[in-house]
Amino acid sequence: MTSGRRNGARQDGTCQGGTHDATRRDFLRVAGAWAALAAIPDVVGARGRIPSAAPIAGGPWSARRPVPTAAQLQWQRDELALFAHFTVNTFTDREWGDGSESPALFDPVRLDARAWTRVAKRAGFRSIVLTAKHHDGFCLWPSRVTSHSVAASPWRGGGGDVVREVADACRADGLGLGLYLSPWDRHEPSYGSGRAYMDVYCAQLEELLAQYGPVCEVWFDGANGEGANGKRQAYDWPRIHAIVRQLQPQAVMFSDAGPDVRWIGNEKGVAGETCWSTIDPVSVPYAGYDAPNVGELLQRVDPHGSVWRPGETDVSIRPGWFWHAQEDAQVRSVDNLMELYFTSVGRNSKLLLNVPPTRDGVFHPTDVARLEAFGARRAQMLTRDFAREALVTGAGSNAAAAVDGAPDTFWSAPAGATRATLDLALPAPARCNVVRLQEPIALGQGVERFEVRGEGVNGWALLATGSTIGYCRLARIAPRVIRRLRVIVESTLDVPRLAAVSLHLDEA
Ligand code: FUL
């Protein structure tokens, strides 16, 4: 999506043998530096949603640190969302349509949104983010402000509505609905005219947010290309954000610049080894902001940032974002999906995994098999926790809460501590290869250096070291039998606190 990146498309939007070699950053560079000038900065975040801050009890920390809103907290705890890229591109074999595609192309004869949601649910995903409109401008719902939509297609005799079907299926299966509405529209004639296009875009946003029930996430891509007439569009982000806040106040908004959740800075599925949920909003002021190293900055952002804006890791299960027959043999393996889980959720981010429907409107059987195997492998790893009910000792309060399996309870070191140690004696020696740590992020994020040591048959060994923890830190360790564990918070910006310490075995 966003600030000059995106490795999913060639500059001409075609897909060649599964190799997508032009990034969006490349595209923006070619297009020139105008994007920064054209966009309207929104440096203060969303209207009325400046995150609150938690008072710090005692200690040398005089500042109040940012904390998540209820919506941001829920968004992060969901861990996994499915992305569904679907539009005329699915039928033209392109990644970026140019807006000239005929709606007659769109005819997903076996479309079954309930099949999407059932698979997503079985694999442990909690929501689906659908491309209601991609850059080509084709609307998957019958928009009243354009004729370039499903209403002009042969699908369901022109009476169909993909957004409605996906919304209903999500509701039936208890999943959240997220919607992607590309600001960049290569079909709409008013694109590049300023206010007139904003009126069209905002009308579309209002349709999507008023007609389909609760929406949990609104996804704003940062791509902002030149219109056919050579004009560039300025986006009125404050106006856009206000519509979301008014119509779906519980939804989080995603973009390079949030305001609620931020892009993680690449489309490879990799959050920073160091990954903070706090940012200085001025450092990435608007969606599509391009600057040297902005991708690296978004990966890690800023321990001293004044705003809570956790990172979302969007990545595709295939080389492209849209379905291409020639990529059917390039679907990520289960090992690879597990790796993505470790480098996203396991680095204090959320994984938004794209699974593109085929021309029939279903997920390809290979993708379905991989998703299900990914779900089974994660469940197998996480369900068995060898540290559960361990005997825990540590200064401060509630040490046993670190192993009680409840995300809302936590161990807290004494106020004023800058370093703290938690010792676990396991109920029985156990063979493990994964350590999982969590901070109680409802109170913010503080740990900036930790290490984990374990005692096995050959004595004590250093198992893992790291910087941030945040919502979740997953560390792979060499497989070994462990009977005691020591977690040392070496440095922190807040009272040392841990909501969970667990030990697992990931068996390939
Ligand atoms: C990018 C877009 O240009 C891609 O087509 C895709 O939608 C990706 C998620 O975001 O910026």
Q: Is 28 in the pocket of ligand 1 (CB under 6 A)?
A: no
Angstrom distance (rounded) from CA 124 to CA 120: 6
> For 339-472, where are the E strands, in sequence order?
349-354, 391-393, 411-412, 420-438, 447-456, 459-466
pTM of the predicted model as reported, rounded to 2 decimal places? 0.90
Strand partners, 65: 54
Sequence letter at residue 319: P
CA geometry: angle at 182 spanning 179 and 184, to 5°?
A: 175
Strand partners, 178: 129, 217
- Looking from the CA of residue 131, the nearest atom of ligand 1 is 7
Token pair recorded at residue 269: 């599925």
Q: How far is the CA of 1 from the centre of ligand 1 (A)?
A: 4
Q: How far is the CA of 78 from the centre of ligand 1 (A)?
A: 22
Q: How far is the CA of 331 from the centre of ligand 1 (A)?
A: 18
Q: Is 22 in the pocket of ligand 1 (CB under 6 A)?
A: no
Quickly list DSSP for 187-241.
Answer: S-TTTTSSHHHHHHHHHHHHHHHHHSS--SEEE-----PPPTTS--PPP-HHHHH
Q: Ligand 1, from 321, 322, 324: best to mutate by most atoms within 8 Å of Cβ?
A: 321
Q: Is 223 in the pocket of ligand 1 (CB under 6 A)?
A: yes
Domain at 24-40+71-382: CATH code = 3.20.20.80
Nearest CA to ligand 1 atom 2: 1
Angstrom distance (rounded) from CA 251 to CA 127: 12
Query: Span 339-357, mean pLDDT?
Result: 98
The fraction of the chain above a pLDDT of 70, given in percent, is 88
pLDDT value at 284 more than 50: yes
The fraction of the chain above a pLDDT of 90, given in percent, is 83
Nearest CA to ligand 1 atom 1: 1
pLDDT value at 25 more than 60: no
pLDDT value at 364 more than 80: yes
pLDDT tens-place string over residues 220-246: 998 888 777 777 899 999 999 999 999
Lowest-confidence segment of 12-21, 301-310, 458-467 by average pLDDT: 12-21
Q: What is the mean pLDDT of the chain?
A: 89
pLDDT value at 46 more than 80: no
pLDDT tens-place string over residues 126-162: 999 999 999 999 999 999 999 999 999 999 999 999 9
Strand partners, 447: 492
Q: Is 1 in the pocket of ligand 1 (CB under 6 A)?
A: yes
Query: Span 294-322, mean pLDDT?
Result: 97
- Looking from the CA of residue 83, the nearest atom of ligand 1 is 9
pLDDT tens-place string over residues 441-460: 999 999 999 999 999 999 99
Q: How far is the CA of 6 from the centre of ligand 1 (A)?
A: 6
Q: Is 9 in the pocket of ligand 1 (CB under 6 A)?
A: yes
Angstrom distance (rounded) from CA 304 to CA 278: 7
* Per-residue confidence band for 409, with pLDDT thresholds at 50, 70 and 90: very high
Q: How far is the CA of 96 from the centre of ligand 1 (A)?
A: 8
Q: State the DSSP code for 326.
A: G
Nearest CA to ligand 1 atom 8: 1
pLDDT value at 6 more than 80: no
Q: Is 24 in the pocket of ligand 1 (CB under 6 A)?
A: yes
Q: Is 6 in the pocket of ligand 1 (CB under 6 A)?
A: yes
The domain spans of the chain are 24-40+71-382, 391-504
CATH level 3 topology of 391-504: Jelly Rolls (2.60.120)
Q: How far is the CA of 182 from the centre of ligand 1 (A)?
A: 9
Q: How far is the CA of 397 from the centre of ligand 1 (A)?
A: 46
Q: Ligand 1, from 2, 5, 6: best to mutate by most atoms within 8 Å of Cβ?
A: 6
* Per-residue confidence band for 168, with pLDDT thresholds at 50, 70 and 90: very high
Q: How far is the CA of 221 from the centre of ligand 1 (A)?
A: 7
- Looking from the CA of residue 222, the nearest atom of ligand 1 is 11
Residue 293's nearest CA partner among 1, 2, 77, 3 is 3
Residue-level pLDDT at 57:
39
Q: How far apart are the first and last CA of the chain?
A: 32
* Per-residue confidence band for 63, with pLDDT thresholds at 50, 70 and 90: low
Q: How far is the CA of 375 from the centre of ligand 1 (A)?
A: 25
Q: Is 221 in the pocket of ligand 1 (CB under 6 A)?
A: yes
Q: How far is the CA of 85 from the centre of ligand 1 (A)?
A: 9
Residue-level pLDDT at 466:
98
pLDDT value at 366 more than 90: yes
pLDDT value at 45 more than 80: no
